[in-house]
Amino acid sequence: MSFWEFFWLIIAAFVFFAYLMMLFSIFADIFRDHELGGWGKALWSLFIIFMPFLGALVYLIARGNGMAQRSVKQAQDYEAAQADYIRSVAPSAASPADQVAQAKQLLDSGAITQQEFDAMKAKALA
């Protein structure tokens, strides 16, 4: 195999991979769109399956703007869900007075010793 044959093989493989990624994105968008009914989804899917190049081109021209908007909305929804989850599991940033009060409650309940209370108090006030 010569250098140029290998070069064109790599180029063809890249273009084919890019085309497959575009098809996956289009199919994901078809089924992510809540405004498109079942028959519309079926017709777009059949059009893209039986006429892949033309179907993908027509879909990108006809629905490309909405495709970008739905993708951005999904990313924002994921980001909001992630931020909510992080807020729910992250410890709250209590004031030093609250930390000392919590440590005092632990001392009064017998969960910690006086030395541990003093260390927690020093850390909270530092």
Question: Could you tell me which of 126, 105, 103, 99 has the C-alpha nearest to residue 115?
Answer: 103
Q: Please check whether residue 61 is in contact with residue 23, taking contact to mean a CB–CB distance below 8 angstroms.
A: no
**pLDDT in the model for residue 1:** 84
pLDDT tens profile 27-73: 999 998 888 899 999 999 999 999 999 999 999 999 988 888 988 99
pLDDT at 18 over 70: yes
pLDDT at 101: 87
- Residue labelled with tokens 């850390």: 123
91 pLDDT tier (thresholds 50, 70, 90): low
- For the record, the structure tokens of 44 come out as 């777009």
- What pLDDT, on a 0 to 100 scale, did the predictor assign at position 61? 93
Percent of the chain at pLDDT exceeding 90 = 52
Q: Give the pTM.
A: 0.59
Q: Minimal CA–CA distance to 61: which of 77, 76, 46, 47?
A: 47
Q: Is the dihedral of CA 108, 113, 115, 118 positive or negative?
A: negative
